[in-house]
Structure 1
Amino acid sequence: MVLVVLGIDALDPELVDDERHPHLTLTRHKRIETIDSHAGEPSTHELWPTIITGLPPSEHGLQLDDGVAWENPLLRYGSRAADYLLSDSLQASIGAWLLTNTGADAFRVPSSYYAENGLTTVFDGTDSTAIGVPNYVVDPDTEDREHSLRRELGDLFERDTEAVGGHTTADLPTFYEQCMEMSIVRTARARNALRSGRYELVFAYTSGLDLVGHVTYDRPDVQSQAYDELDRFVADVHADLGPDDDLLLVSDHGLQDGVHTHEAMVAGTDPETVDSIDSVLDVRDAIEAALAGGAHETAATVEFEHGDGRDDVQERLEDLGYM
Structure 2
Amino acid sequence: MILIDLSDAYATGIGKWDKFTVDWLYGQPAAGTDPDAAAAAKADAAQRAGMRYLTDIDGRDASLAVPGDSMWTEGDDGPADLAHVMAVRRVALARFGPGVLHAGAPLSDLRRSFVPVWLFHRYAVAAIGKTLGGVHYSYATAGDSAPAPTRGSAAEQAEALDALLATLSPAALTVPPALALTLSSGVNGNADPQYDSEVLDTAGGAVFDPLVATDVAAQVTLETLLAPTRLTRLHLQHAADEALPGVNTLLDRLTRDIIMRHDDAVTQRIALRTILAIASAARAPATTPDVALRLDGALEGLRERFGRDKRDPWAQGVARLLGDTTALERALAPTKRSVPAIPPGMPIGG
TM-score range, shorter chain: 0.3 to 0.5
Name the TM-score, length of structure 1 as normaliser: 0.33
Larger Rg: 2
Relative contact order (C-alpha < 8 Å, sep 6+): which is higher?
1
Structure that is richer in helix per residue: 2
Per the normalisation by structure 2, the TM-score is 0.31
Q: 1 or 2, which has the higher strand percentage?
A: 1
